[in-house]
Amino acid sequence: MNFPKYDGNIHPVEWVNDFQNHINLKEKLKADDNINYAISLVNATIKLPTGIDSFEKLCGETSKFISNFRQLCYNAEINDIDEQKKYLIQSLPSNNYLFDELSKRKEKINSTNVLIKEFEEIVTEESNLIRHGSIVALKHVVTGKYLSSIKDLNYKTGSEVQMVFVNDLFDSNALWKITFKSGKELASYTDIANFMCLEHKNSGKTLGIYIRSINGYKLYNDIKSPVTSHKEVNCNRSTNHNVQWKFKNSKLENYQGYLKSNDTINLCINNVKDQQVFLRSHDFQFTIGNDTFQEVVCHNERLGGSDEWCLELIKQKNMP
């Protein structure tokens, strides 16, 4: 699902070839967006000029990036590793993930080779981080199907609002925009405000359980799901950022890192009784007309494999 940013570690022609194969396999973007997608995957530390409108130009501008730092140090006769670390860190924007992580690791760096290695590792990590405003997909781990919704396709029972299901097909109906309650660029598992809003890309409506309003107060109502009579999950309320899902890493207890692509997570929300209910899918199906859909629900039972979702980064924020 993910494609790595170009960091100068392989020949640019090889990277572009891999990227073009990625496009052909996934068919995620329109043809006129492909070069913009490729440019967005080049790490921010690589300064690209304007006017790049082809893969050939992109290759020419990025081919020597990795060697630039070594060459500059050589030309300036900067051989002391502490000076090299200082200049590399100072070249990065402050309050930036690369800046922060390299600053944390600088004490264990004792050679130019180690400095470059640590920097490359951080670049790779940074390219997989989920950011405020990123577009993601949520793959149900047990079934391999994607959390999906279709604009204006509503349940025929329960709330009768826009329904949610899991689907074998990965398409634009499986795209969700993430925003964080904290408003921060990145979200840490240890942050007390580790909540996210999931806005369906096609419809602009947010993932939640049914919300109704009485005298201006929003209430989470226990509407039953179509088949199993768990709590119905739906897309309701346009851009309603009060629908916040708490996330935790389902594989690593007390994990202290940042939310990133390919993390396996559990998602929960509070119901009308202020109980945590977890997002789940299973093999139960319901029909609307001639079409069959696999149910997605919330529940307050014991957690298991059916409650695990793999978070897959599709686009960084502000990408065309």
Ranges of beta strands (E only) in the chain are 135-140, 146-154, 162-167, 176-180, 195-200, 205-209, 211-214, 217-220, 231-238, 245-249, 264-270, 276-288, 291-299, 309-315
Write down the pLDDT at residue 33.
Answer: 55
Residues 77 and 152 in one domain: no
Q: Are residues 247 and 206 in the same domain?
A: yes
- CA-nearest of 170, 176, 165 to 280 is 165
Task: Please give the structure tokens belonging to residue 184.
Answer: 């921060």
Are 194 and 173 contained in the same domain? yes
Give dist(CA 262, CA 4) in Å, integer: 13
* Same domain? 162 vs 186: yes
Do 91 and 163 have their domain in common?
no
* pLDDT tens digits, 131-152: 999 999 999 999 999 999 999 9
Q: What does DSSP assign to residue 157?
A: S
User: 212 and 154 in one domain?
Assistant: yes
In angstroms, the CA 275 to CA 189 distance is: 21
Residues 227 and 105 in one domain: no
- Nearest residue to 173 via CA among 205, 202, 144: 202
pTM (predicted TM-score)? 0.74
Question: d(Cα 161, Cα 152) in Å, to the nearest integer?
Answer: 8
What are the CA-CA distances from residue 25 to residues 19, 216, 310 (Å)? 10, 48, 20
pLDDT for position 191:
85
Q: What is the extent of the structural domain holding 56?
A: 12-62
Q: Please, which pLDDT band fits residue 304 given cuts at 50, 70 and 90?
A: very high
Task: Give the pLDDT confidence of 213-267 residue by residue, as tens digits.
Answer: 555 544 555 688 999 999 999 998 654 446 789 999 998 877 888 999 999 999 9
User: Rounded distance, CA 90 to CA 260, Å?
Assistant: 26
Residues 101 and 191 in one domain: no
Residue 187 lies in a domain: yes
Q: How far is CA 135 from the centre of its chain?
A: 6
